[in-house]
């Protein structure tokens, strides 16, 4: 019998966690890009940032989701560290809504509303346009079904004399109100939340234990405080692979909650007395008192809300000091991130939604695009070095070092294409809207064309290196001028591509890129005809003319790849280059 009860407890927790996750993801899908725009637009100061975090978290019913989203936005450069700290503080308040939903579930038989929600949800899921609403209803139904099962299992556990005696005997060892016992339950709440990766699940267990009278309310509030610390560890784990600013945002999340727990522990007695007065709960009340379960759960929800609201109101004035502290603790990485193989924006986060995943991939592609223009700049520098080195005793060390760096960038471009493609492939396994599917198709086309730009840059570098190593057949001054002019046009088109990647496509004029491509094509044709004439007139050798036109043709190909990237981002159909 005890094993059956244990599995019912674990199963009800699984239902509750699955319901929370499904509900949160469905709400984030319904909000879509609006969540991103809200976080970006409503964080002009610390107060609007806190309000934004509070409302977004109350809407998506997950402080973890809001925090991970915020850390991802910091990682992507969409939010500053100060903005992120204020949003995270607001998320602490927003997450208290979950506790109130659970306390509501303790007050009446919510299972009566679960099955109609399942029925309506399955109908909506089979209606393509209402599928997300159906997912949301299923999440709510699973959440309440898990909560109801957890409550019923808890009461049946208490009614079992043997189980009740065993559990009561365990907790009675820590009934004495000592500082050590308080720290024990604080630590227990932190570890359990870290293991389960859901403060909502641990809050549900805490409410169940306190409402049945097995766990004293004093021990319950210490578990609640521990949950507030445990939930911050998730974002810190996710941020380990992110950039410095994102790791600082995650650490600020932990710092604010740890500070809050510290001052509440100092003022615990008067603070808890105030909570009991507000909620109308008597700490000396026994479990057989009328409405004890409801009053105990309401007291815990009130304590959770009062703690987070008070902590936010206190620390919001010290956000600049918190920023300085986290910057002092987490130093910038010494590794040259520009030449690091890893992706900077895509992380292996928990509770990701397609919208957030597509955003991260978008920022990674933006970085990829910017890196390709830097690579092209190195090719231009390599060409200049090949000319000056011929005049200055062949400064081979500097030339070879730059060529090796270009080789490394070519390898990075290959890796980035594969890693982003694999990530987008994983995202596409989820239930996606037609709009998100179209975005992913466009992104796959973009990274393919960007990798081709890297190949074109590397081909030019190899051509320059071949000419440099031959130690003969140098370009004439007119050829250098033509190559520089062609490279300047190509760089202008790369600049326009990156402006599109960093900005909004509605404000971008695609005709400018096409006009540049036409100018590059016409210039290539002009130089091709002139090259044949110059070889016939013995201005330079045929071998030099071949290398010269190889560079010109690669620039023209690169221009075509740029147009393909632009058209993919603008949502235009594939065309033949």
For residue 125 the two structure tokens come to 């899921």
Q: What is the DSSP string of 219-258?
A: HHHHHHHHHHHHHHHHHHHHGGGS-HHHHHHHHHHHHHHH
Question: How many angstroms separate the CA atoms of 52 and 70, rounded?
Answer: 11
**Spatial contact of 359 and 76, defined as CB atoms under 8 Å apart:** yes
Q: Which residues contact 427 (CB under 8 A, 6 or more apart)?
A: 354, 357, 358, 361, 440
DSSP three-state, residue 575: coil
Query: Quick check: 428 pLDDT over 60?
Result: yes
Overall average pLDDT of the 15-40 stretch: 65
- Stronger pLDDT, 124 or 564, i.e. the higher one: 564
Tokens of 372: 């390709």
**CB-based contact 300:207 (threshold 8 Å):** yes
Query: Bigger pLDDT: 397 or 286?
Result: 397
Q: Which of 1 and 265 is assigned the larger pLDDT?
A: 265
3-class secondary structure per residue, 202-219: HHHHHHHHHHCCCCCHHH
What pLDDT is recorded for position 336? 47
Q: What is the pLDDT of residues 197-217, one digit of tens each?
A: 667 777 777 777 777 777 778
Confidence of residue 351 (pLDDT cuts 50, 70, 90): very low
pTM metric for this prediction: 0.61
User: By the 8 A CB rule, do 137 and 23 touch?
Assistant: no
Q: Which residue has the higher pLDDT, 90 or 211?
A: 90
Residues 459-483: what's their mean pLDDT?
85
Neighbouring CB atoms inside 10 A of 195's CB total 11
Residue 350 has pLDDT above 50, yes or no: no
Considering only residues 35 and 10, tell me which one the structure prediction assigns the higher pLDDT. 10
> Is pLDDT of 307 > 80?
yes
- Rounded CA separation 363/383 (Å): 31
Q: What integer pLDDT is reported at residue 577 of this predicted model? A: 43
Are 551 and 464 a contacting pair, CB within 8 Å? yes
Looking at residue 484, its pLDDT comes to 92
Q: What is the pLDDT of residues 358-386, one digit of tens each?
A: 777 888 898 899 999 999 999 999 988 88
- Residues 295 and 430: their CA atoms lie apart, in Å, by 41
Distance CA 553, CA 537 (A): 22
- Identify which of 440, 403, 402 has the alpha carbon closest to the alpha carbon of residue 420: 440
Structural domain spans, the chain: 2-329, 354-569
Structure tokens at 60: 């998506």
């699984």: which residue's tokens?
Answer: 14
- Here the tokens at position 307 are 């703690």
Q: Which of 199-213, 248-262, 288-302, 335-349: highest mean pLDDT?
A: 248-262
CATH 1.20.58.220: does it fit domain 354-569?
Answer: yes
Question: What is d(CA 459, CA 456) in angstroms, rounded to the nearest whole number?
Answer: 5
Contact call for residues 201 and 147 (beta carbons, < 8 A)? no
Q: What is the rounded average pLDDT of the residues 282-301? A: 76
**pLDDT tens digit string along 488-546?**
999 999 999 998 888 777 777 888 888 999 999 999 999 999 999 988 988 888 888 89
What percentage of the chain carries pLDDT values higher than 90? 15
Structure tokens at 185: 């339950």
């Amino acid at each position: 019998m005890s094993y059956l009860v244990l599995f019912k407890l674990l199963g009800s927790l699984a239902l509750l966690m699955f319901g929370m996750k499904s509900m949160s993801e469905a709400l984030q899908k319904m909000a879509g890009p609006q969540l991103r725009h809200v976080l970006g637009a409503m964080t002009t100061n610390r107060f609007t940032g806190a309000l934004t975090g509070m409302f977004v978290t109350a809407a998506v019913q997950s402080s973890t989701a809001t925090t991970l989203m915020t850390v991802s936005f910091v990682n992507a450069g969409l939010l500053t560290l100060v903005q992120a700290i204020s949003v995270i503080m607001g998320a602490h308040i927003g997450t208290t809504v979950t506790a109130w939903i659970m306390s509501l579930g303790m007050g009446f038989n919510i299972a009566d509303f679960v099955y109609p929600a399942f029925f309506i949800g399955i109908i909506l899921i089979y209606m393509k346009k209402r599928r997300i609403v159906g997912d949301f209803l299923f999440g709510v139904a699973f959440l309440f079904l898990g909560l109801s099962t957890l409550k019923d299992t808890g009461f049946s556990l208490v009614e079992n004399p043997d189980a009740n005696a065993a559990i009561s005997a365990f907790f009675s060892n820590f009934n004495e109100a000592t500082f050590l016992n308080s720290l024990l339950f604080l630590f227990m709440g932190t570890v359990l939340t870290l293991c389960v990766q859901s403060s909502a699940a641990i809050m549900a267990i805490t409410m169940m234990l306190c409402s049945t009278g097995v766990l004293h309310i004093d021990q319950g509030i210490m578990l609640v405080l521990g949950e507030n610390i445990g939930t911050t560890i998730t974002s810190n784990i996710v941020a380990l692979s992110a950039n410095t600013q994102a790791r600082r945002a995650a650490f600020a999340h932990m710092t604010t909650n740890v500070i809050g727990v510290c001052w509440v522990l100092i003022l615990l007695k008067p603070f808890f007395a105030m909570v009991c007065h507000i909620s109308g709960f008597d700490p000396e009340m026994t479990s057989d008192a009328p409405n004890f379960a409801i009053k105990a759960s309401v007291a815990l929800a009130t304590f959770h809300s009062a703690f987070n609201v008070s902590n936010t109101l206190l620390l919001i004035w010290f956000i600049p000091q918190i920023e300085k502290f986290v910057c002092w603790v987490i130093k910038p990485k010494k590794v040259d991130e520009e030449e690091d193989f890893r992706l900077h924006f895509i992380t292996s986060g928990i509770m990701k939604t397609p919208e957030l995943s597509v955003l991260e991939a978008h920022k990674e592609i933006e970085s990829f695009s910017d890196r390709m223009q830097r690579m092209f700049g190195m090719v231009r520098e390599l060409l200049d070095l090949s000319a000056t080195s011929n005049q200055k005793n062949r400064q081979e060390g500097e030339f070879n070092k730059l060529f090796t760096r270009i080789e490394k960038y070519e390898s990075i471009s290959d890796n980035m294409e594969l890693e982003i493609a694999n990530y987008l492939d994983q995202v596409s396994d989820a239930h996606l809207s037609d709009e998100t599917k179209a975005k992913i198709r466009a992104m796959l086309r973009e990274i393919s064309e960007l990798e081709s730009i890297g190949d074109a840059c590397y081909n030019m570098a190899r051509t320059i290196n071949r000419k440099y190593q031959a130690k003969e057949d140098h370009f004439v001054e007119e050829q250098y001028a033509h190559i520089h002019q062609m490279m300047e046009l190509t760089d202008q088109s790369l600049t326009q591509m990156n402006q599109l990647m960093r900005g909004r496509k509605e404000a971008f004029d695609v005709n400018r890129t096409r006009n540049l491509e036409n100018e590059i094509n016409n210039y290539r044709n002009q130089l091709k005809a002139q090259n044949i004439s110059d070889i016939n007139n013995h201005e330079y050798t045929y071998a030099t003319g071949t290398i010269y036109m190889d560079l010109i043709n690669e620039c023209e190909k690169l221009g075509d790849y740029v147009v393909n990237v632009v058209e993919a981002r603008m949502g235009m159909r594939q065309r033949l280059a």
